[in-house]
Amino acid sequence: MGARSTAVEELDLDPFSPEFLADPYPGHEEMREAGPVVRLPRYDVWATARYAEVRSVLGDPETYCSSAGVGLSDFTREKPWRPPSLLLEADPPEHTEARDVITTVLSPKNVRALRDAFQAEAEAMIDRLLQRPDIDGVSDLGAAFPLKVFPDAVGLPAGGRENLLPYGKMVFNGFGPRNEFFDRAMAGGEQVRDWIMAHCERDALAADGLGAQIHEVAAENGFTEQERGMLVRSFLSAGVDTTVHALGNALWVLAQHPEQWAEMRAEPTKKAVAAFEETVRFESPVQTFFRTTTADAELGGVAIPAGEKVLTFLGAANRDPRQWDDPDRFDLNRRAHGHVGFGSGTHTCVGQMVARLEGEVLLSSMADRVESIELTGEPERQLNNTLRGLDTLPLRLHPA
């Protein structure tokens, strides 16, 4: 051990076990308190659950690269289950070129143009649900809303959208080890993949949607036809399950904090924005990402050799008491700014303004129309190697 590097604790935790995924917070605390960096020998990886170190890793893509994959699998040694994403699983300078295309397509003007359609759909959906106030907060609302407005915005046809969530399960379980969640998500996934790939093509997408715009801007920037489709694939991979989980988590947390629901009703737009942001901090839909060291590195005083996987716990950083006051309290009045639920640095979520728009519109429309939301049973958690969220959320909506 070098004189300047600190000893590292080895922990026997399995962050991809059903027990850990069902309630990750005790494990997060154990890792944060064990040191700035720990070893998880079960997977032969390094890990950090502290805010400062997570930010350091995500802020240094030269040392902590993405092109070897942002899951457990090291693409330099193992063939990935699908061709790597040009965005997520890439480094500068290639990453920068791909990202510039998406940044152009998701310009503030383009995102603003989505609002009216999102708003109309949210209002219609909630009014329909208020006819029969016992609902499932996930399938009837938290999933139904993004599954309608996002594919509409992209320009996907109405038929076949049932492939989107299964594909997302493949993507997000695919970042983990080859465990039961991985195998279940991938089983019979060939048809799902075929549908997704077919609908990344220019001709499968409506002329006035974001998908067509990706093709157009990517073509102008010299991307091949196949690469243009791959950029649409990123939208379909990253844009659905994430928001489905965020909205389900928001409804779940707000159902448990009726006083904060009441606050949201008093100032719907402002507090809906805040509630969504605090949800992404407090119950981060994307819990983890890996990076791979490109050279000998030093993190929090710990020496990490080149070619090693480093697991960053976004959801743990977002509850690090070194960064947050009373981190385990959901509080829509806190300054949640600076959370890493959308990542941080070069790869920070490029779709976050679309996600926030969905959150703001759905929650503020709810606040306008619903006096309170009552939990009428036990929610069922969806266990996923990367995502945190619910499968079901039994709710009764009390109309305003």
Q: Which residues bind ligand 8QM (CB under 6 A)?
A: 85, 87-88, 171, 234, 237-238, 242, 286
- Closer residue to ligand 8QM (CB): 170 or 273: 170
- DSSP letter for 158, please: S
CB of 97 to ligand 8QM, least distance (A): 14
Phi then psi dihedrals of residue 393, to 5 deg: -150, 90
CA distance 212 to 222: 15
- Closer residue to ligand 8QM (CB): 11 or 87: 87
CA distance 319 to 329: 9
Nearest to 289 by CA among 75, 83, 97, 65: 65
- Closer residue to ligand 8QM (CB): 35 or 142: 142
CA distance 24 to 20: 5
In this structure, which amino acid lies at residue 110? N
CA 87 to chain CA mean position, Å:
15
- Closer residue to ligand 8QM (CB): 354 or 395: 354
CB of 146 to ligand 8QM, least distance (A): 13
Structure tokens at 63: 């040392």
- Closer residue to ligand 8QM (CB): 88 or 251: 88
- b/e per residue 111-147 (b: at least 16 CB within 10 A): beebeeebbebbbebbeebeeeeebbbbebbbbbbbb
CA distance 352 to 238: 10
CB of 279 to ligand 8QM, least distance (A): 16
CB of 394 to ligand 8QM, least distance (A): 27
- Closer residue to ligand 8QM (CB): 252 or 342: 342
CB of 150 to ligand 8QM, least distance (A): 13
- Closer residue to ligand 8QM (CB): 24 or 69: 69
Where are the alpha helices (H) located in the chain, listed in sequence order? 18-22, 25-34, 51-58, 94-105, 108-112, 115-129, 144-154, 164-173, 180-186, 190-198, 210-220, 225-238, 241-255, 258-266, 268-282, 314-317, 352-369
CB of 91 to ligand 8QM, least distance (A): 13
CB of 396 to ligand 8QM, least distance (A): 32
- Closer residue to ligand 8QM (CB): 245 or 271: 245
- What distances in angstroms separate CA 355 from CA 105, 138, 218, 226, 313, one per listed residue? 15, 16, 22, 26, 21
Phi then psi dihedrals of residue 47, to 5 deg: -150, 150
CB of 239 to ligand 8QM, least distance (A): 8
- Closer residue to ligand 8QM (CB): 286 or 363: 286
CB of 231 to ligand 8QM, least distance (A): 8
CA distance 158 to 192: 16
CB of 149 to ligand 8QM, least distance (A): 18
Structure tokens at 177: 């080890």
**238: number of Cβ within 10 Å:** 22
The reply to whether omega before 305 is within 30° of 0 (cis) is no
- Closer residue to ligand 8QM (CB): 260 or 312: 312
Structure tokens at 129: 């649900």
